[in-house]
């Protein structure tokens, strides 16, 4: 019975094939967002790029209407997940079980606050790998996420007929 579940239900893929225009818009949005964040980073000499922002670009430019792609989810999800990662690292040290608890706690916290942003679930892992100072919460996490959302607000509303965001 368990192995039968692993076969799947036989349903068709739930995401329809995007048009070439949608693909091109998502591609360009990702390019512009990462380029903008990297340019600000270079100009200010502050760390603003976070590895999970690449996955955030997939959502905000490829699927901007999803709940996971809304500005509140992007900014608060990244912030909370980094805060949790930093807290667990500070309290318990770089232990495998502390990392596991940090990831699980980040997932639960995003769910309870209705700010789930799947790419942010990797922030505790990034924190444990890099072992940064508390300033990581502000640079790159919060500032980078805010810049990403700013680019998404401008770009998605200039290039699409639908409004972005769907909600705050």
Q: What are the tens digits of pLDDT across the range 94-122?
A: 999 999 999 999 999 999 999 999 999 99
3-state secondary structure 50-61: CCCHHHHHHHHH
113 DSSP 8-state letter: T
DSSP string, 38-88: HHHHHHHT-----TTHHHHHHHHHHSTTSGGGSHHHHHHHHHHHHHHHHHH
Please report, for residues 30, 46, 134, the alpha-carbon distance to residue 66 in angstroms, rounded to integers and kept in the order given. 17, 31, 31
Q: What are the tens digits of pLDDT across the range 42-74?
A: 999 999 999 999 999 999 999 999 999 999 999
pTM reported for the whole predicted model: 0.94
What sign does the CA torsion over 32, 35, 40, 46 have? Answer: positive
Statement: residue 83 has pLDDT above 80: yes
Element (H, E) at 92: helix 71-92
Q: What are the tens digits of pLDDT across the range 113-154?
A: 999 999 999 999 999 999 999 999 999 999 999 999 999 999
Quick check: bond before 131 cis, omega within 30? no
Statement: residue 13 has pLDDT above 80: no
């Amino acid at each position: 019975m368990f192995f039968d579940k692993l076969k799947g239900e036989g349903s068709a893929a739930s995401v329809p094939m995007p048009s070439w225009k949608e693909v091109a818009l998502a591609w360009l949005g990702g390019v512009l967002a990462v380029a903008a964040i990297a340019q600000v980073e270079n100009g200010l000499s502050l760390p603003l790029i976070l590895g999970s922002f690449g996955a955030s670009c997939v959502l905000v430019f490829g699927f901007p209407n999803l709940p996971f792609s809304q500005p509140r989810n992007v900014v608060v999800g990244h912030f909370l997940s980094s805060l949790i990662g930093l807290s667990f690292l500070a309290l318990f040290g770089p232990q495998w079980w502390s990392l596991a608890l940090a990831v699980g706690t980040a997932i639960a916290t995003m769910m309870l606050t209705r700010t789930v942003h799947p790419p942010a679930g990797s922030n505790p892992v990034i924190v444990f790998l890099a072992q940064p100072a508390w300033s990581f919460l502000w640079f790159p996490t919060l500032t980078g996420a805010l810049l990403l959302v700013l680019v998404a607000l401008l770009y998605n509303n200039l290039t699409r007929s639908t409004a972005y965001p769907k909600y705050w």
